Amino acid sequence: MRLASLLLVLGCSVFAQTNRFDILITGAHVVDGSGNPWYSADVGIRGDTIVAVGQLGDSQAAIRIDARGLVVAPGFIDIHSHGRRGIFNVPTAENYLREGVTTIIEGPDGSSALPIAPFLDRFKETPISINFATFVGQGTIRTQVIGLANRKATPEEIGKMKDLAAQAMRDGAFGLSTGLFYVPGNFTPTEEVIELAKVVGQMGGIHISHMREEATHVLDTVRETIRIGEEGGLPTQITHHKTIGQASWGKSIESLKLVEEARARGVDVTIDQYPYTASSTGISALFPQWALEGGQKSTAERLSAPGERARIKAVIVENLKFDRGAGDPKNVALVNCSFDPGLAGKNLAEVTKARGVEVTMENAAETAIELQSKGGCSAIYHAISEEDVMRIMQSPYTMIASDGDIPVFGQASPHPRSYGTFARVLGVYVREKHVVTLEDAVRKMSGMPAERLKLWDRGLVRPGMKADVVVFDPAKVADRSQYDKPHQYSVGFRDVIVNGKLALHNDQVTTERSGRVLYGPAH
């Protein structure tokens, strides 16, 4: 090749590299995920990477996105998701895409896939539209070693659990989740969790906890979560922080103080939350924890012994009054009862009435026992105060997470948080109520969870970052999903880019499946 033509080829390729983008977003307000004030710029994407941010309007681009009047932000990272089954039914994760989520972290509440590696390998056969990552669940590990027994583990068993935790970290987990409220987490002494936490912490992971109790004893369990971080030597996170039941409303003042004090003495503790005044979990959450030991069959045996049945019922009555029932059985709405789909959407007062009895706490407790005995139901519990939601949201240590799932559109009655969490914060708590600023809200959804997870190449709009980018209208963004009509997508997100490909473009889900499995720090 002659020198001149070689130079020509080189020159062309240099020219192409500096001026040609695969996607160019122009004229937007960039809210970059750091919490800094918005600024005007164009964003250039090549391959799977943001390669330029600045005045790029004259550059060539395969796809140009005019974003005047709109916000460009990093794709949102949901650090608490239950989508590990749903993603295989709905690989587009459309509920998440339409609220700007580009990464979900699974394995919450002490429950995960195990072993991790073969589970993550399944995504080689199922291309997905968003990124997927996971924690390893303490409850899942414990179940594998000693089943659902309500007893301390032996040193040898704890050794096995530590090996499983370490293997999960090597397989790509981002840390250890606990669900100390659930079987078998509720049978686990704090010291045992700390042993596992030490292993995970040394490998770069975090601890994230659905705490042992979120109602009358919420402050004790905040202390426990902090202790696990302090003695386990790793970052620790209170997940879906809330204070349940009127008797506990306002306790977020003190729980946030506990977090502040812990941080002041050097414990790395953070929080996440969803922006709703109702929680969602099994109807078994009304039961005393000892009654659930050993699973469904053992619970049924206890219920057939009159003395034990009376003791169980007394606790359910208490919980209906002061805990998740918040003083009225109609605060407990059934979502999904495997044995009778017709019960979805009905509340505990209605089902009690349909049994032909008066709606009292005692009779509602009987209804709950009957539902649990037939196979159990998931339920939505309206028992959180709006003041606590807003106070927790304003903490600089709080990020936003959905605790949601990937529902099949139209099926069952999921909590609206699956469809609406991120859009709701931007619509209700930024635009309408001014609880947090737009920049802070975006930080809580992107830069903050990315940093928490050590996802150093995501969560910010900066050159060099992976191109997970959302374009939304700050004047229109809104959640639509409601408790009695949950299957409604959020609105306002026009374009969602995942690893440099448009997964949502001009409000339409595309055929791109550019989501990736993300691996944790010890992989």
Binding site for Zn ion (CB under 5 A): 109, 210
- 26 vs 319 by CB, closer to Zn ion: 319
Spatial CA neighbour of 195 closest among 151, 155, 237, 235: 155
* Dihedral sign of CA atoms 507, 495, 30, 405 in order: positive
The rounded distance, in Å, linking the Cα atoms of 333 and 280 is: 9
The rounded distance, in Å, linking the Cα atoms of 78 and 92 is: 15
- 129 vs 237 by CB, closer to Zn ion: 237
| Main-chain phi, psi angles of 467, to 5 degrees | -85, 70
At closest approach, how far in Å is the CB of 109 from Zn ion?
Answer: 4
At closest approach, how far in Å is the CB of 211 from Zn ion?
Answer: 9
- 34 vs 281 by CB, closer to Zn ion: 281
Task: From residue 317, give the alpha-carbon distance in Å to each of 1, 299, 313.
Answer: 87, 17, 6
Query: In the complex, which residue's CB is closest to Zn ion?
Result: 210
Using CB atoms within 10 Å of the CB of residue 259, give its burial: 0 to 12 exposed, 13 to 18 middle, 19+ buried.
Answer: buried
99, two tokens: 């609220």
- 129 vs 281 by CB, closer to Zn ion: 281
At closest approach, how far in Å is the CB of 80 from Zn ion?
Answer: 7
- 210 vs 444 by CB, closer to Zn ion: 210
At closest approach, how far in Å is the CB of 139 from Zn ion?
Answer: 11
At closest approach, how far in Å is the CB of 256 from Zn ion?
Answer: 19
Task: From residue 310, give the alpha-carbon distance in Å to each of 137, 171, 303, 435.
Answer: 33, 46, 8, 45
- 109 vs 230 by CB, closer to Zn ion: 109
- 92 vs 336 by CB, closer to Zn ion: 336
DSSP secondary structure of 141-155: HHHHHHTT-SSPPPH
- 238 vs 467 by CB, closer to Zn ion: 238
| Main-chain phi, psi angles of 289, to 5 degrees | -65, -35
- 28 vs 392 by CB, closer to Zn ion: 392
Q: Cis bond leading into 184, ω under 30°?
A: yes
Contact assessment for residue 413 and residue 347, using Cβ atoms and an 8 Å cutoff: no
83, two tokens: 């989508």
Q: Cis bond leading into 486, ω under 30°?
A: no
- 139 vs 459 by CB, closer to Zn ion: 139
At closest approach, how far in Å is the CB of 17 from Zn ion?
Answer: 47
Task: From residue 138, give the alpha-carbon distance in Å to each of 71, 142, 160, 175.
Answer: 39, 6, 12, 10
At closest approach, how far in Å is the CB of 304 from Zn ion?
Answer: 30
At closest approach, how far in Å is the CB of 361 from Zn ion?
Answer: 25
| SS3 assignment, position 118 | helix
The rounded distance, in Å, linking the Cα atoms of 39 and 110 is: 41
At closest approach, how far in Å is the CB of 340 from Zn ion?
Answer: 25
At closest approach, how far in Å is the CB of 108 from Zn ion?
Answer: 6
Q: Are strands 469-472 and 71-74 parallel, antiparallel or unpaired?
A: antiparallel
At closest approach, how far in Å is the CB of 456 from Zn ion?
Answer: 27
Burial string for 319-347 (b: 16+ CB within 10 Å, else e) reads bbebbbbbebbbbbbbbbbeeeeebbbbb
- 244 vs 455 by CB, closer to Zn ion: 244
Spatial CA neighbour of 67 closest among 493, 427, 491, 499: 493
The rounded distance, in Å, linking the Cα atoms of 447 and 286 is: 36
- 241 vs 251 by CB, closer to Zn ion: 241
Spatial CA neighbour of 496 closest among 92, 215, 17: 92
At closest approach, how far in Å is the CB of 280 from Zn ion?
Answer: 9
- 158 vs 377 by CB, closer to Zn ion: 377
Helices (H), 45-85: none
At closest approach, how far in Å is the CB of 379 from Zn ion?
Answer: 14
